[in-house]
Structure 1
Amino acid sequence: MSGVVPTAPEQPTGEMENQFKSPTALPDAPPDYSSHFVPGPAGPALPPPSGLPMGYNVPQHPGAIPLYHPIGGTHPIQYQPGKYPMRNQYAPVMWMPGPTPMSSCPPGLEYLAQLDNIHVLQHFEPLEVMTGYETNNRYDIKNNVDQMVYIVTEDTDDYTRNAYRNLRPFVLRVTDCLGREIMTMQRPFRCTCCCFCCSCARQELEVQCPPGVTIGFVAEHWNLCRASYSIQNQKKENMMRVRGPCATYGCGSDSVFEVHSLDGASNIGSIIRKWNGFLSTMANADHFEICFPLDLDVKMKAMIFGACFLIDFMYFERTPQRRSSR
């Protein structure tokens, strides 16, 4: 019959579905893959795309962390270990080479055994100047060739710092280039409302090296005209004396605190607060230079080092002016 169109023979339903399925259709269940990823060899370095800023490179494989390169540099910045907050992120911190351990020296004080002069540099805190909010003090300890020796950080809670200001009790932690705490300095709270000649009103600093082992104390003596301290051993026996100037705040000049023997006949060393101009008058960014004999007992060097911080808090820690509620 001419009007009848021939039809294809009927096929089973399953075969017809297989013919119309796309070759790229997803399977019903994901195949099993090995959970271990074995990276292959690194490919050639690719130039950074135009959308990224200069100084960054592109990861070569998934999961890679891009390294930061300074502009114009060829190697990533290498930081010394430790807890040092770097001021300049484009330059590494130069640390003093680590000395060999000494049997008669507390661990960590081997640096002081090789030095006769150190510099204590306090960090400038803009937050204190702008808001009057007291923050933890931080110091860099360097030698004469500008190499880092120690880092000193204050560990005091916010309420104590802002309630007592420069009279606050504090804990100072001294760390080396590896971030190890090698010395701890503690100042207890002393009531200043009592008579100045009373022993309970005199300031004191305890030095521990290593932390938990007391090696000495720095005790204040009452004096009508000038600052006076005694450096004591762990038994609180007087070993040396520190005498300050009549006027501790000298505008335009250094303030020198001399370290003498008990009889006052010989001058052992000095703690000099350097004049820094604007920073000395408006902000807490003090610079101290500590001098002592090279052959002095290393524990006594550490005690003179600790006396510097008690002097700083008592005479040179500027209390920011609080803004009036009006």
Structure 2
Amino acid sequence: MSVPTAPEKPADEMENQIKSPNPQPDAPPDYNSHFVPGPPGAAVPPPVGYPGGFPVRYYSLQQPSTFPYGQPTGGTYPIQYQPGKYPVSYQSAPITWMPGSAPIPDCPPGLEYLTQLDNIHVLQHFEPMEMMTRLETNNKYDIKNNLDQMVYVVIEDTDDFTRNAYRTLRPFILRVMDFTGREIMTMQRPFRCTCCCFCCPSTRQELEVQCPPGVTLGFVVDHWNLCRAVYSVQNEKKETVLRIRGPCSTYGCGSDSVFEVTSLDGVSNIGSIIRKWNGLISAMGDADHFDIRFPLDLDVKMKAMIFGACFLIDFMYFERSPPQRSSR
């Protein structure tokens, strides 16, 4: 007696039922590594009903970010990572960002944060690969307030050849990003030769601050002095509005290095840029910590210029190139 059986299915059909489609792509998407800054735009409003009021975003469509963005109000939220041009280590906890404010008249977009602050901290990332490979990498900085909330992220955008050929004298572009990934400020340092007379105007180091990017806010220019570091803060017309006077010794071994920001007559003390001494980290590692102080009611554009002066001071006096191999 024969038992009826189900009709046999073709082998191809059986194989398709057993195999499940692979949801993962074979290779990561090919992102364009060349950064092309776009025109500045207004911050994207958060979606209705989003907890905390701030969306989790990437830097931009042209430049996917690897920075995880958390919520300014704290709490646990999903962290999103995306491959980008500036790789950083993954964070185990979301970053707490400073709450934003409404647009302010006569205030460049993105600088509203500075109107609420009289003190900010500039924390440079420690790069162990520089010590191991003796190759200069792009500098990265976290900008925080006194509550340890992130205000900005600053990333250097310099090609490998320029960084390693000119080291601390290299021309650079620093891009300042807010929590949405919008580039709200750009700082550019042109190359200036230092092999001729120190008092020659062509050897003076200069930093241009643009806010928004493409619109000149002012300049920071150093001046030759036999005893100490001296800078002038200029507006977009290159008219000097503030002066910065550094210590006689900028090495700062065992103590903080204070750069005083004063009025043109040198009488009124406007603020200060303090390079903090952090023990062995300051002596051996290239991870500086600056404390910037200014009056709460100071013009926000002047706050941005003092903020920009901090980076020119860092590159001129506290940036250390990795040790070079001996020619023998």
Work out whether residues 76 and 94 of structure 2, in 8 Å CA contact, stay in contact via their aligned partners in 1: no
TM-score of the pair, normalised by structure 1: 0.77
Distance in 1, matches of 2:130 and 2:194, equals 24
- Residue of structure 2 equivalent to 1:189: 191
Deviation at 1:25, TM superposition (A): 1.4
1:304 paired residue among 295, 303, 306: 306
Deviations 1:228-254 (A, max 9, x none): 000000000000000000000121000
1:62-114, CA deviations, whole angstroms, 9 ceiling, x for partnerless residues? 8599xxxxxxxxx9852379989775632110000011111210000000011
Residue 24 of structure 1, CA deviation: 3.4
d(CA) in 2 for partners of 1:165, 1:104: 38
Task: Tell me the residue number matched to 1:248.
Answer: 250
Cα distance in 2 for partners of 1:259, 1:267 equals 6
Which residue does 2:8 correspond to in 1? Answer: 25
Equivalent position SS for 1:159: helix
- Kindly provide the CA deviation profile for residues 2-21 of structure 1, in whole angstroms up to 9, marking residues without a partner as x: xxxxxxxxxxxxxxxxx999
Indicate the residue corresponding to 2:79 in structure 1.
79
Q: Which residue of 154, 158, 161 maps to 2:160?
A: 158
Distance in 2 between residues matched to 1:81 and 1:99, nearest whole Å: 26
Tell me how far apart the structure 2 counterparts of residues 222 and 257 of structure 1 sit (CA, whole Å): 15
Cα 1:120–1:175 change in 2 (3 A) is: same
Residue 220 of structure 1 is matched in structure 2 by 222
Q: Pairwise mapping of residues 171-210 of structure 1 onto structure 2 (< 5 A)? A: 171-210=173-212
Q: Name the residue aligned to 1:100.
A: 102
User: How far apart, CA to CA, are the structure 2 residues paired with 1:81 and 1:21?
Assistant: 57
Cα distance in 2 for residues equivalent to 1:288 and 1:275 = 9
Larger Rg: 1
User: Quick one: which amino acid aligns to residue 221 of structure 2?
Assistant: A
What does 1:1-326 align with in structure 2 at a 5 Å threshold?
Answer: 23-26=6-9, 63=23, 78-79=78-79, 89-326=91-328
Question: 8 Å contact 1:77–1:90 — kept in the other structure?
Answer: no
The residue identity in structure 2 corresponding to 1:185 is M
CA offsets per residue over residues 40-68 of structure 1, 9 Å max, x none?
A: xxxxxxxxxxxxxxxxxxxxx98599xxx
Tell me the distance in 1 between the aligned counterparts of 2:4 and 2:98: 73
In 2, the alpha carbon distance for the partners of 1:27 and 1:156 equals 60
8 Å CA contact retained: 1:121, 1:286: yes
- Rate the CA distance shift 1:80–1:104 in 2: closer, same or farther, 3 A: farther
| Kept in 1: contact 2:228–2:249 (CA 8 A) | yes
Q: Could you tell me whether the CA contact under 8 Å between 1:120 and 1:287 is conserved in 2?
A: yes
Q: TM-score of the superposition, structure 2-length normalised? A: 0.77
Deviations 1:248-305 (A, max 9, x none): 0121000000000000010000000000111111111000000000011100000000
SS at match of 1:164: helix
Which one-letter code corresponds to 2:6 in the other structure? P
Name the SS for the 1:140 alignment partner: strand
Closer, same or farther in 2 for the Cα pair 1:130/1:64, shift >3 Å? closer
| Structure 1 Cα separation of the partners of residues 234 and 101 of structure 2 | 27
Q: For the structure 1 residues 301 and 28, does the alpha-carbon distance in structure 2 shift closer, same or farther, using more than 3 Å as the test? A: closer
Q: Deviations over 1:108-163 (max 9, x none)?
A: 00000110000000000001112211000000000001000000000000000000
Return 5+ residue gaps in structure 1 as ranges: 1-18, 31-60, 66-74
CA distance in 1: counterparts of 2:81 and 2:108, whole angstroms: 22
Match of 1:34 in 2: none
